[in-house]
Amino acid sequence: MELTKAVELLKVLKKQMSEYHNNYSQLSEKLYGQHDKSIAEFVRDLSTEATGEEHKERGPSI
Amino acid sequence: MDPTGLTSVDYISSEKIQQHMLQVNNEITQLLELAKDPRKYGELIEKMDPTIDKVDQHVMALQARLTEELDRRTKEFETAIKALDNPATMFGSEPPDFLSSADVAKWRKLAASRGVTRHLTGFKKSLIDGFKNEMSKQLHIEKLTEQNITIRRILDKIRQTLLI
Q: Would you tell me which residues 39-68 of chain B have a C-beta closer than 8 angstroms to some C-beta of chain A?
A: 41, 44-45, 48, 55, 59, 62, 66
Q: Which of B26, B28, B23 is nearest to B10 (CA)?
A: B23
**Is pLDDT at A60 greater than 50 in this prediction?**
no
Q: What is the pLDDT of residue B105?
A: 95
Distance CA B122, CA B41 (A): 61
Q: What is the pLDDT of residue B38?
A: 92
Cβ neighbours of B28 in A, within 8 Å: 10, 13-14, 17
Q: Do B17 and A28 touch (CB under 8 A)?
A: yes
Q: What is the pLDDT of residue B22?
A: 92
Q: Do B150 and A57 touch (CB under 8 A)?
A: no
Alpha helices in A1-62 (DSSP H): 2-31, 39-51
Q: What is the pLDDT of residue A55?
A: 45
Q: How confident is the model at residue A45 (pLDDT cuts 50, 70, 90)?
A: confident
Cβ neighbours of B73 in A, within 8 Å: 39, 42
Q: Which of A31, A35, A38 is nearest to B79 (CA)?
A: A38
Substitution target in A18, A28, A48 with the highest count of B β-carbons within 10 Å is A28
Evaluate whether ipTM surpasses 0.90: no
Is residue A57 within 8 A of residue B98, CB to CB? The reply is no
Is residue B135 within 8 A of residue B141, CB to CB? The reply is yes
Q: Do A44 and B141 touch (CB under 8 A)?
A: no
Cβ neighbours of B102 in A, within 8 Å: 61
- Residues of chain B with confidence (pLDDT) below 70: 1-14, 115, 164
pLDDT tens, position by position, B70-99: 999 999 999 999 999 988 888 888 999 999
SS (H, E, C) B98-149: CCCHHHHHHHHHHHHCCCCHHHHHHHHHHHHHHHHHHHHHHCCHHHHHHHHH
Cβ neighbours of B148 in A, within 8 Å: 20
Distance CA B80, CA B71 (A): 14
The pTM is what?
0.80
Q: Tell me, yes or no, if A18 comes closer than 8 A to chain B by beta carbon.
A: yes
Q: What is the pLDDT of residue A58?
A: 43
SS (H, E, C) B51-91: HHHHHHHHHHHHHHHHHHHHHHHHHHHHHHCHHHHCHHHHC
